[in-house]
Amino acid sequence: MNNAMTIMLTKKLKDFIAKESDRLIKNYGGSSDYEKRVLSRTVKMQEEVGELCEEILASQNDQRKEKLKKHNQETMEGEFSDVLITVMLLAEILKIDLDEALNNKIKKNDKRYKKH
């Protein structure tokens, strides 16, 4: 990967995350307590990762029959999206610049693998 290449999250996605964060605070009793909001978003992220894992298991026919009936490509895509959104919402509240974090990680990995 070219070191000059940069990852930039789209403005549309960043705007959605800001809007979604405001909606969560407004509609779900978003505590004004920072630590509680961080914990809430962390737990929600874990929930979404679990749901994605269930979809992946279903895609491999490794779930109960009633779960297999609900699985399809669209439900799995939805769970991937939910994981990404909840990770971004958590990063937003923690003031993590994901563009910078991703670019730094790419550079670090590129540097690591150039040694091999």
The position carrying tokens 């895509």 is 77
pLDDT digits (tens, 9 = 90+) for 69-101: 888 899 999 999 999 999 999 999 999 999 999
Model-wide pTM > 0.85: no
Average pLDDT score over residue span 17-39: 85
Asked if residue 1 has pLDDT above 50, the reply is: no
Instruction: Report the distance separating Cα 92 and Cα 86, nearest Å.
Output: 10
Look at residue 38 in the predicted model and tell me its pLDDT. Answer: 93
CB 59 within 8 A of CB 71: yes
Q: How far is CA 93 from the centre of its chain?
A: 13
At the fourth CATH level, the homologous superfamily of domain 13-22+33-114 is: MazG-like (1.10.287.1080)
Asked if residue 5 has pLDDT above 70, the reply is: no
